[in-house]
Chain A
Amino acid sequence: MAMTQSRARALLLAPAGLWYVTLLVFPLAVVLIFSFGERNPIGGYAPGFTLEQYANLPSRFAAFRNTLTLAPLGTLAALIIAYPLAYYLALRVSPRWKTTLLILVIVPFWTSILIRSYAWIYLLGGNGIPALLEALGIDSIRLINTPFAVLVGIVYGYLPLMVFPIYVALDKLDKSLLDAASDLGTPPWRSFVQITLPLSMPGVLTGSMLVFILLTGEFLIPAILGGGKVFFVGNALVDLFLQSRNWAFGSAVAVALIVIMLIVVALYARAIRRFGASRDDVGIM
């Protein structure tokens, strides 16, 4: 019985396993190998074993700098905007409306980020917000193709992903704790700082980690709203592989990006252990 069961399991896992090996594990291994190789003069990759590509990483300093300043800033801004909304949904809305309102937050995240981002070309372009500001007497503000535009785009794009885990953490919170605190005469702000905030930290950490990780790999939003002036590592990668066809160096940049993400995940894992929470807060829906 046990034998047939494990055989059935192996059969059920076979298609997925084969798929992962051919289109995930093998390609990532190729990237790692190529990152130690050399550039083929006609483009592409030439075998070798050198650390030259990694030594050359500082030549893409601007892309890493933009990513590593705008990604934390965007994460922080998303957190500041998302927290009160998650709080409202979890603790203030009647149960009847909760699910509907939550779905309304999550649905935009699953629709085309490409179309949602380019809508901001209107809002930030000459006839949008700058025209409004001009009517108010603030002249010649340029918003489109600036770091600000990219920041707005990434906060807008990833806000739902921040709201959801914080909502889950706040929703699980034992409300009788808050009642007890208020019965004992604790002012609301103190019970927020001492009870609600610490208990929602797992959600805050999960949301921040998810948003930050996705932001570090972002390509579309800087491409559409940054106008080639504000580029991320993702944009540098597209340029290296599709324009200059420097596969070896591009692979090294990709490996560096993954290493940054792994560091963030490791920091997250340490932080979440301190708050003693499980990882099952990671929700994608």
Chain B
Amino acid sequence: MRLYAVTVYAFLYLPIAIIALFSFSAGRSASSMDGFTTAWYARALSNPFVMESLWTSLRVALLSAILATVSGTMAALALTGMKGRLRALFDGLVMIAVMIPGVVIGIAALIALMTVFGAVNPWIELILGRQLSMGLGSLIGLHGMFTMSLVVLIVRGRMETFDRAQIEASNDLGADPFGTFRQVTLPQIAPAILAGFLLAFTFSFDDFIMAFFVAGSETTLPIYIFSSIRRGVTPEINAIGTMVMVASLILLMIAQILLRPDKSRAEG
């Protein structure tokens, strides 16, 4: 049984280890290991295409995660303890956003936005002298819409496990709603909010498929990696991949540790 578990863990982590290993290979060929070098890392970090797409990805991930965390937390606060049709409608929207494949969400957003842009652009051009097009705005909008759903699920999960009597007690003692939120609710849900933010950031940073459709002329890092591996895997791509994996592993570990007390409490 234990051996089996070790095998499955090896299966889960072997491919990650292989990429990290080959990123240090001194040979030009990406498929054999000869020598040790960190040159590919230096090369990746001085490649202007890599740095530019990295910069785009970071901006999109940061902005979409901030917007998603704020509006997702607001929605989670409103939804807790709420019943009726509006609650059912919102639960439905959150589920749809999470369940519909990214490829369909990407396509739907692409044709909807292109149709709207096509209709309004003559007017926008007339008034502002420029046109609407796909790019940072559509990337942030679409990633944020998806990751906001994750934030709602995570924050609402935490809201539902904490003792509501504390809020009532605070109200009875004369605190105004904002005071109660700041002094009672926020300290308890803060770890969940931060975890939601980290997950939102990681998702946006790693997403390829939605970005592929709505990026317009922008290139995010996953889009760069995807088009590079179509031309063949290089040690440089392995170095980029390793850095991306290590960065997301660190963020995810932090997110998981933040969510941990929540689980132990839910288990009682």
Interface residues of A (CB under 8 A from B): 8-10, 12-13, 15-17, 19-20, 22-28, 30-31, 34, 44-45, 81, 84-85, 88-89, 92, 99, 101, 103-108, 110-116, 118-123, 125-127, 156, 159-160, 171, 213-214, 216-220, 224, 234, 237-238, 241-242, 247, 250-251, 254, 257-258, 261, 265, 284-285
Contact = CB atoms under 8 A, between A and B. Distances in A.
B256 interface: yes
Interface in B108-137: 108-115
Contacts of A107: 249, 252-253, 256
Contacts of A160: 12
Contacts of B159: none
Contacts of A114: 206, 208, 222, 225-226
A114 B245 CA distance: 11
Nearest to B226: A114
Contacts of A16: 71-72, 74-75, 90, 148, 152
Contacts of A113: 206, 208
B22 interface: yes
Contact of B103 (A106, A112, A224, A238): A238
B108 A30 contact: yes
Interface of B: 1-2, 4-5, 8-9, 11-16, 18-19, 22, 31-32, 70-72, 74-75, 77-79, 82, 86, 90, 93, 96-105, 107-115, 141-142, 144-145, 148, 150, 152-154, 177, 199, 202-203, 206, 208-209, 212-213, 222, 225-226, 229, 233, 241, 244-245, 248-249, 252-253, 256, 259-260, 263, 267
A30 B72 contact: no
Contacts of B202: 110-111
Contact of A24 (B74, B96, B101): B96
| Central interface residue in B18, B90, B99, B260, by most chain A CB within 10 Å | B99
Contacts, number: 219
A119 B19 contact: yes
A23 B177 CA distance: 32
A23 B141 CA distance: 7
The 6 nearest A-B residue pairs measured at CB: A217-B101, A119-B15, A27-B108, A12-B78, A27-B112, A16-B75
Given A31-B104, A107-B252, A116 B16 contact: yes
A122 B107 contact: no
Given A110-B199, A115-B244, A123-B18, A217 B104 contact: yes
Contacts of A31: 104, 107-108, 111-112
| Central interface residue in B107, B154, B222, B244, by most chain A CB within 10 Å | B107
A273 to B, nearest CB: 17
15 contacts: A10-B78, A12-B78, A19-B144, A19-B145, A23-B145, A27-B112, A81-B8, A105-B9, A112-B248, A113-B208, A119-B19, A219-B102, A237-B107, A247-B111, A261-B99
Nearest to B113: A27
B108 A254 contact: yes
Contacts of A216: 101
B257 to A, nearest CB: 8
Contact of A284 (B12, B102, B150): B150
A260 to B, nearest CB: 11
A159 B202 CA distance: 19
B120 to A, nearest CB: 13
A285 B154 contact: yes
| Central interface residue in B104, B177, B252, B260, by most chain A CB within 10 Å | B104
A238 B210 CA distance: 11
Nearest to B90: A13
Given A16-B71, A216-B101, A112 B244 contact: yes
A84 B1 contact: yes
Given A115-B244, A121-B233, A217 B74 contact: no
A113 B233 CA distance: 16
A15 B72 CA distance: 9
A108 B22 contact: no
A111 B242 CA distance: 11
B93 A241 contact: no
B200 to A, nearest CB: 11
B229 A219 contact: no
Contacts of B241: 112, 115, 118
Contact of A217 (B22, B103, B199): B103
A214 B256 contact: no
Given A16-B75, A16-B152, A45-B111, A111 B99 contact: no
Nearest to B264: A99
A88 B1 CA distance: 7
B111 A12 contact: no
B102 A217 contact: yes
